[in-house]
């Protein structure tokens, strides 16, 4: 059974394709209460993106937040990536892709969707010029000029209409999470792609490459998988939960934190034989998280942003 796609992984329903709105995002009071789906670092600045074109900025490690000065779309934003401390991209419903040259203060439209208005769920850039956008129904776009132009990439057989949830990688090795426990894998910065099967059942919604080169993916019903040999073999991490996992980060000590539905916060330590699961106050569905100084966590989800003390692991 194919599950509906993200808005980002609040698991409501896949959005009906629609023309991207031409309206600017509004500057509103209490913007931190708007649903937020992605977080990225622009130098020391924290940037998040979410509902109705709401982009939030913090220059003091999450203590205070303000909206970006201008976002020329009020569509839902479900992808965000910064190549360096000033150059970044965000994307979302209607196939819209925006870019910034000033660390997220102001944004410009690069792509409005047009005939191809499939939602974009993830962005990843190898360099400020070369990157990928992935999304619903087999959407995989590539740019070689920093997003000035985007070209559709053909997918391997059997993946043409699969939802592609997250692009991630390190160096020339790239991965894309998808449905039915499948991944796309490239060893040459996306010039060629192959399908990798995993033991997972159902959708894989997030992934990351650890500092030792291992690959970790996560998704439906608390599934967490680890490969130490480039995807040839996958070990299942016992998470002790069936709450679906939406994404994760590696901490300075080599352990991993993952976010999930129903307020799930999962912590796994090497060698990743198992994990402990905590529950965030309010049990909101979490789309992502980030570690902040002082043993604090930034949580993103349907209720907006919250900064909380980290669980005592």
61 phi/psi in degrees, rounded to 5? 60, 35
The answer to whether position 169 is within a domain reads: yes
Q: How many CB atoms lie within 10 A of CB 194?
A: 11
d(CA 43, CA 41): 6
CATH code at position 126: 2.130.10.10
Per-residue 3-state assignment (H helix, E strand, C coil) for 200-245:
CCCCEEEEEECCCCCEEEEEHHHCEEEECCCCCCCEECECCCCCCE
Helix (H/G/I), strand (E/B), else coil: 300: strand
Low-confidence ranges of the chain (pLDDT < 70): 1-22, 312-313
pLDDT per residue over 189-212, tens digit each? Answer: 999 999 999 999 999 999 999 999
Question: Cα–chain-centroid distance for residue 156?
Answer: 22
d(CA 122, CA 90): 9
The answer to whether position 70 is within a domain reads: yes
Confidence (pLDDT) at 114: 75
Confidence (pLDDT) at 254: 95
The answer to whether position 10 is within a domain reads: no
Percent of the chain with pLDDT over 70: 92
The answer to whether position 19 is within a domain reads: no
Structural domains of the chain, count: 1
Residue with tokens 């509902």: 51
The answer to whether position 3 is within a domain reads: no
Confidence (pLDDT) at 20: 47
Q: Which two tokens stand for residue 292?
A: 């902040």
Alpha-carbon Rg for the chain, nearest whole angstrom, is 18
Domain that holds residue 38: 33-309
d(CA 271, CA 227): 12
CB 248 within 8 A of CB 283: no
Confidence (pLDDT) at 167: 98
Confidence (pLDDT) at 312: 60
d(CA 279, CA 240): 13
The answer to whether position 2 is within a domain reads: no
- The partner residues of 38 in beta bridges, in order of sequence, read 49
């Amino acid at each position: 059974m194919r599950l509906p796609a993200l808005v980002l992984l609040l698991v409501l329903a896949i959005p009906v394709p629609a023309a991207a709105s031409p309206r600017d995002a509004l500057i509103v009071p209490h913007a931190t209460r708007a649903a937020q789906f992605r977080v990225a670092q622009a130098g020391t600045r924290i940037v998040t993106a979410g509902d109705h074109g709401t982009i939030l900025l913090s220059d003091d490690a999450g203590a205070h937040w303000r909206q970006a000065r201008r976002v020329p779309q009020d569509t839902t934003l479900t992808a965000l990536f910064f190549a360096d401390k000033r150059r970044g991209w965000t994307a979302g419903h209607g196939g819209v892709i925006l870019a910034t040259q000033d660390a997220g203060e102001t944004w410009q439209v690069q792509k409005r969707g047009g005939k191809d208005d499939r939602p974009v769920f993830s962005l990843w850039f190898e360099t400020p010029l070369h990157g990928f956008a992935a999304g619903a129904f087999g959407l995989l776009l590539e740019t070689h000029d920093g997003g000035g132009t985007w070209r559709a990439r053909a997918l391997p057989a059997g993946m043409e209409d699969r939802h592609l949830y997250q692009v991630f990688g390190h160096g020339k090795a790239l991965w894309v999470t998808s449905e039915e426990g499948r991944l796309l894998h490239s060893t040459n910065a996306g010039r060629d792609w192959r399908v990798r099967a995993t033991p997972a059942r159902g959708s894989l919604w997030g992934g990351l490459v650890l500092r030792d080169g291992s690959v970790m993916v996560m998704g439906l019903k608390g599934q967490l998988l680890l490969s130490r040999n480039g995807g040839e073999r996958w070990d299942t991490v016992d998470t002790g939960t069936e709450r679906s996992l939406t994404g994760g980060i590696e901490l300075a000590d080599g352990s991993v934190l993952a976010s999930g539905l129903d307020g799930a916060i999962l912590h796994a330590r090497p060698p990743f034989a198992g994990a402990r699961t905590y529950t965030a106050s309010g049990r909101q569905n979490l789309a992502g998280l980030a570690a902040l100084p002082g043993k604090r966590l930034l949580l993103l989800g349907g209720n907006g942003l919250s900064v909380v003390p980290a669980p005592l692991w």
